[in-house]
Amino acid sequence: MIPELGHYALVLALALGLLQSVVPVIGAQRRDAALMGLANSTALMQFGLVALSFAALATCYITSDFSVRTVFENSNSLMPLIYKITSVWGNHEGSMLLWVLILSLFGALVALFGGNLPASLKANALAVQSWIACAFYLFILLTSNPFLRLQPAPFEGQSLNPILQDPGLAVHPPLLYLGYVGFSMAFSFAIAALIEGRIDAAWARWVRPWTLGAWMCLTLGIAGGSYWAYYTLGWGGFWFWDPVENASLMPWLAGTALLHSAVVMEKRNALKIWTILLAILTFSLSLIGTFLVRSGVLTSVHSFANDPRRGVFILAILVLFIGGGLTLFAWRAPLLKQGGLFAPISREGALVFNNLFLTTACLTVLTGTLYPLALEALTGAKITVGGPFFNLTFGPLFLVLMFAMPFGPLLAWKRGDLLGATQRLMAAIGVALIAIGLAFAVEGRTSVLAPFGVGLAFFVMAGALVDIAERTGLFRAPLASVRARAAGLPRSGWGTAVAHFGIAVSLLGIVGAAAWGTERIMEIKPSQIVSLSGYDLRYEGLKQMPGPNYTEEVGTFTVSKGDDLIGVMHPSKRTFASRGMTTNEAALMARGPGQLYLSLGDSKSDGSIAIRLYYKPMVLLIWLGAVIMMLGGALSLSDRRLRVGAPKPAAKSALQPAE
Partner 1 sequence: MTRKQRRLILIGSSLGVLAVAVGLVLNAMRGSIVFFESPTDVVEHQLAPDARIRIGGLVKAGSVERGDNLRIRFVITDGKHDIPVQYQGIVPDLFREGQGVVAEGKLESGGMFVADTVLAKHDERYMPKEVVDALKKSGRWQEGEAQTAKGATK
Q: Which of 334, 580, 645, 647 binds partner 1 (CB under 8 A)?
A: 580
Residues in 153-182 that interact with partner 1 by CB under 8 A: 161, 163
Cα 495 from Cα 490, distance rounded (Å): 9
Tell whether residue 651 is a contact of partner 1 (CB under 8 A).
no
Prior bond of 118 cis (ω within 30°): no
Nearer to partner 1 (CB atom), residue 122 or residue 347: 347
Q: How far is the CB of 553 from partner 1 (least distance, A)?
A: 12
Q: Which of 197, 388, 420, 488 binds partner 1 (CB under 8 A)?
A: 388
Q: Which of 256, 584, 595, 636 binds partner 1 (CB under 8 A)?
A: 584
Q: How far is the CB of 538 from partner 1 (least distance, A)?
A: 20
Options 52-60, 295-303, 622-630, 637-645: segment touching partner 1 (CB under 8 A): 295-303
Tell whether residue 649 is a contact of partner 1 (CB under 8 A).
no
Nearer to partner 1 (CB atom), residue 491 or residue 574: 574
> Based on the number of CB atoms within 10 Å of its own CB, is 310 exposed (0-12), middle (13-18) or buried (19 or more)?
buried
Residues 343-382 as x/- pattern, contact with partner 1 by CB under 8 A: xx-------x---xx--xx-xx--xx--x---------xx
Options 307-315, 465-473, 517-525, 551-559: segment touching partner 1 (CB under 8 A): 517-525
Cα 598 from Cα 252, distance rounded (Å): 31
Nearer to partner 1 (CB atom), residue 328 or residue 610: 610
Nearer to partner 1 (CB atom), residue 53 or residue 359: 359
Q: Kindly report the number of other CB atoms within 10 A of residue 644's CB atom.
A: 14
Tell whether residue 150 is a contact of partner 1 (CB under 8 A).
no
Nearer to partner 1 (CB atom), residue 89 or residue 137: 89
DSSP annotation string for 597-646: EEEEEEE-TTS-EEEEEEEETTTHHHHHHHHHHHHHHHHHHT-TTTSTTP
Q: How far is the CB of 515 from partner 1 (least distance, A)?
A: 19
Return the ∠ at Cα 138 (arms to 136 and 144), rounded to 5°: 85
What sign does the dihedral 346-352-355-361 (CA atoms) show? Answer: negative
> Based on the number of CB atoms within 10 Å of its own CB, is 81 exposed (0-12), middle (13-18) or buried (19 or more)?
exposed
Nearer to partner 1 (CB atom), residue 424 or residue 573: 573
Tell whether residue 67 is a contact of partner 1 (CB under 8 A).
no
Options 406-414, 486-494, 581-589, 641-649: segment touching partner 1 (CB under 8 A): 581-589
Identify any residues that bridge with 599 across adjacent strands, giving them in sequence order: 612
Cα 72 from Cα 68, distance rounded (Å): 6
CB 619, CB 586: distance < 8 Å: no
CB 263, CB 208: distance < 8 Å: yes
Write out 467-527 in H/E/C secondary structure: HHHHHHCCCCCCHHHHHHHHHHCCHHHHHHHHHHHHHHHHHHHHHHHHHHCEEEEEEECCC
Q: How far is the CB of 374 from partner 1 (least distance, A)?
A: 13
Residues in 311-350 that interact with partner 1 by CB under 8 A: 338, 341-344
Q: How far is the CB of 460 from partner 1 (least distance, A)?
A: 20
Nearer to partner 1 (CB atom), residue 171 or residue 581: 581
Q: How far is the CB of 523 from partner 1 (least distance, A)?
A: 6
Tell whether residue 610 is a contact of partner 1 (CB under 8 A).
yes
Residues in 176-235 that interact with partner 1 by CB under 8 A: 234
Residues in 246-275 that interact with partner 1 by CB under 8 A: none
* Total residues at interface with partner 1 (CB under 8 A): 49
Q: How far is the CB of 241 from partner 1 (least distance, A)?
A: 11
Cα 60 from Cα 72, distance rounded (Å): 10
Cα 644 from Cα 648, distance rounded (Å): 11
Tell whether residue 142 is a contact of partner 1 (CB under 8 A).
no
Tell whether residue 384 is a contact of partner 1 (CB under 8 A).
yes
Q: Which of 56, 385, 515, 589 binds partner 1 (CB under 8 A)?
A: 385
Buried b (16+ CB within 10 A) or exposed e, 83-99: bbbbbbbbbbbbbbbbb
Q: Kindly report the number of other CB atoms within 10 A of residue 171's CB atom.
A: 17
Q: Which of 33, 312, 316, 392 binds partner 1 (CB under 8 A)?
A: 392
Cα 160 from Cα 578, distance rounded (Å): 9
Tell whether residue 4 is a contact of partner 1 (CB under 8 A).
no
> Crossing angle for the helix pair 450-472 and 491-516, nearest 10 degrees?
170
Cα 295 from Cα 92, distance rounded (Å): 10
Residues contributing to the site for partner 1 (CB under 8 A):
161, 163, 234, 298-301, 305, 338, 341-344, 352, 356-357, 360-361, 363-364, 367-368, 371, 381-386, 388-389, 392-393, 396-397, 521-523, 573, 579-584, 601-602, 610, 612
